[in-house]
Structure 1
Amino acid sequence: MSINELLESIYQQAALQLGRGEVAQYIPALAEVDANQFGITICDIQGNVHSVGDAQTPFSIQSISKVYSLTLAMQNLGNKVWQRVGMEPSGLPFNSLIQLEQEQGLPRNPFINAGALVVADMIESSYATPSLAIKNFVRTLAANPEIQIDSKVAQSEYDHRARNAAAAYLMKSFGNFNNEVEDVLMNYFSTCAIKMSCVDLAKSFSYLANKGQCVFSNKRILPEQQARQINALMATSGLYDEAGKFAFEVGFPGKSGVGGGIIAIVPGVLSICVWSPALNKTGNSYVGIEALKLLSSHIDWSVY
């Protein structure tokens, strides 16, 4: 069976789950998205791209953007990043404040909201216009100069910022936040509101499948060890409260977003993006998870 035939077969099987789950409701701009969309893209480390379904449709990448921000922070600060954010699974909801208070403003990992906000604070200190820096970085990784930030989604998230603001101010009270909270929040939401397709995302994550080197620009994005570190964090903390189950059932490092996208990495082989906007109870794409489970079961690629 060719890769295109395999993708088509997985698409047809997973698409039977369309109609289950619901789109994110707490961000009004995301609540308007058509739930019955579904796309898959695979990009191997030779640069070959295979897609099926709505793989060319741009969508809000949301928390997937946390990987780009962490990558830029690691480029600028190296291991100093880990002085301000941990590398352990949290075991609590991604927007929890309880653990943050108990652990004196040190977030467990960079993929929960508090950790991503600390990383955004690091980015704020490194660039005059942080959201532009990340947008340009992503355009380079994806080899697509047309990628944009959806200002409507960014503003919608900013208008409902109370809980993220609470986390940021709590960290500031413990001395783990250096810039103006409102400035960091706006740049953070702008980064989450970047719109990309499955094709863009799979291509842009090629560096994590290729030992830190971007397949399309041939530029070294990170040293091989740091690329491995990000993959490890994605494996332990990348899918909200479903990271353990995802590792058990799928076996790839991954990062999801409430826009319905999931990126997954098979180190040394390829990157995968699945997208369908309706979410399960843990905030991950219902159909996307099904597609990745099917893909893993068809081809023995689990890193475990």
Structure 2
Amino acid sequence: MTHSALSTDALRVIVTEIAEELAESDDRGRVASYIPQLACIDPQQFALSVVTPDGDVINAGDADTPFSIQSVSKVFTLAVALGQMGESLWSRVGREPSGDPFNSIVQLEHEQGIPRNPFINAGAIAVTDAVLSGYEPREAIGLIVEFIRYTAGDDTIMIDETVARSEEATGYRNTALANFMRDFGNLTCDPAMTLGVYYHQCAVAMTARQLALAGRFLAYDGCLAPGGSRVISGRMARQINALMLTCGHYDGSGEFAFRVGLPGKSGVGGAILAVAPGRASIGCWSPGLNAVGNSQLASRALEMLADRTGWSVFAPH
């Protein structure tokens, strides 16, 4: 189906049908248990929200239930860092898929403290450190949250302090990664301060609706709407989308590109932000994860959505 043939009403039918079909699903994956606050979330929940170029917001399921965005936050922090540093950021973090677990130390030692990409934990910590340079931790957290609020058009978005504390209490591997990078000279701030900012950005709580709205600048070449307010340069938006397509889903990035064909970034809270360039920004959430740490139902929902809309970036437009 071509984009021109897809009216808002037709899209609403597709979104509603996907939610209804997935409501019947027994195989919902397993919630992340290594962060205590995430372990107690009801895996029956599901939300899908799609924002169109005209600003229509189409919701299904629990679209107004807040959740911890976790690693989806890495997309927004990367945009902030690129806005501050420009291309010089790439001297501190690579742009290649890792092929290793998202919290691997082995690769980091082998590659002299330069993480493979901004979406594995080490890479995201390096990007957060870049944002923090020159600021107090509270100011850096404020910058990131203000950016998310601006892109979502919603000043009510907050950090869930309970989740942030829960992550800090269990973040031993991240502490190791940060100290490793500091030893190689790729962290300029005190690792404990950088990690404090990192845990707080991961603990931002949003709804699927807010997430879809916040992703608009990636769908519309750096603007909040086609021809609307510019957030970042079109070039930067395209770079972030490329990284989301190749590195946005941990070890499942190739599988997601293969099945869905859209740039996306997942988080262990069960959220996925996906982008259909020029067509839509999509927020999807279901807490149960598959074997590689991506939301089981959100991944399936996005595959169904891409199939039924023809939005894959590999489809002829």
Provide the residue aligned with 2:171 in structure 1: 161
Provide the residue aligned with 1:283 in structure 2: 293
1:240 to 245, 250, 275: 250
2:220–2:226 contact (8 Å) kept in structure 1: no
CA apart distance, 1:150: 0.3
2:39 to 20, 31, 44: 31
CA apart distance, 1:293: 1.1
2:28–2:44 contact (8 Å) kept in structure 1: no
Provide the residue aligned with 2:6 in structure 1: none
1:114 to 112, 117, 122: 122
Provide the residue aligned with 2:199 in structure 1: 189
1:43–1:203 contact (8 Å) kept in structure 2: yes
Q: Distance in 2 between matches of 1:70 and 1:29?
A: 25
What is the TM-score of this pair, normalised by structure 2?
A: 0.94
Please report the RMSD computed on the Cα atoms of aligned residues, expressed in angstroms: 1.3
Amino acid at match of 1:49: V
What is the TM-score of this pair, normalised by structure 1?
A: 0.97
Specify the SS of the correspondent of 1:2. helix
1:120–1:188 contact (8 Å) kept in structure 2: yes
Provide the residue aligned with 1:4 in structure 2: 12
Return 5+ residue gaps in structure 1 as ranges: none
Provide the residue aligned with 1:219 in structure 2: 229
Cα separation, partners in 2 of 1:216 and 1:180, compared to 1, 3 Å: farther
2:28–2:43 contact (8 Å) kept in structure 1: no
Q: What count of residue pairs does the alignment treat as equivalent? A: 304
CA apart distance, 1:295: 0.8
Q: Distance in 2 between matches of 1:142 and 1:216?
A: 15
Q: Distance in 1 between matches of 2:174 and 2:77?
A: 17
CA apart distance, 1:137: 1.1
Provide the residue aligned with 1:74 in structure 2: 82
Map Cα deviations across residues 84-107 of structure 1 (whole Å, 9 max, x no partner): 000000000000000000000000
Q: Aligned pair 1:208/2:223, yes or no?
A: no
CA apart distance, 1:32: 1.0
Specify the SS of the correspondent of 2:133. helix
Provide the residue aligned with 1:101 in structure 2: 109
Map Cα deviations across residues 208-266 of structure 1 (whole Å, 9 max, x no partner): 00110123994311111111000000000001111101111110000000000001101
Q: Distance in 2 between matches of 1:40 and 1:216?
A: 22
1:76–1:126 contact (8 Å) kept in structure 2: no
Provide the residue aligned with 1:91 in structure 2: 99
Q: Distance in 2 between matches of 1:216 and 1:201?
A: 18
Amino acid at match of 2:144: I
1:236–1:244 contact (8 Å) kept in structure 2: yes
Q: Distance in 1 between matches of 2:226 and 2:205?
A: 20
Return 5+ residue gaps in structure 2 as ranges: 1-8
Map Cα deviations across residues 29-58 of structure 1 (whole Å, 9 max, x no partner): 010111110010000122111001100111
Q: Aligned pair 1:148/2:188, yes or no?
A: no
Specify the SS of the correspondent of 2:256. helix
CA apart distance, 1:14: 2.0
Q: Aligned pair 1:180/2:226, yes or no?
A: no
Q: Distance in 2 between matches of 1:48 and 1:249?
A: 26
1:22 to 15, 30, 44: 30
Provide the residue aligned with 2:241 in structure 1: 231
2:272 to 262, 267, 274: 262
Cα separation, partners in 2 of 1:217 and 1:33, compared to 1, 3 Å: farther
Name the stretch that deviates more: 123-132 or 64-73: 123-132
Specify the SS of the correspondent of 1:33. coil
Provide the residue aligned with 2:181 in structure 1: 171
Provide the residue aligned with 1:271 in structure 2: 281
2:114–2:186 contact (8 Å) kept in structure 1: yes
Q: Distance in 1 between matches of 2:227 and 2:196?
A: 29
Provide the residue aligned with 2:259 in structure 1: 249
Map Cα deviations across residues 151-195 of structure 1 (whole Å, 9 max, x no partner): 000000000111001001001111100001111111100000000
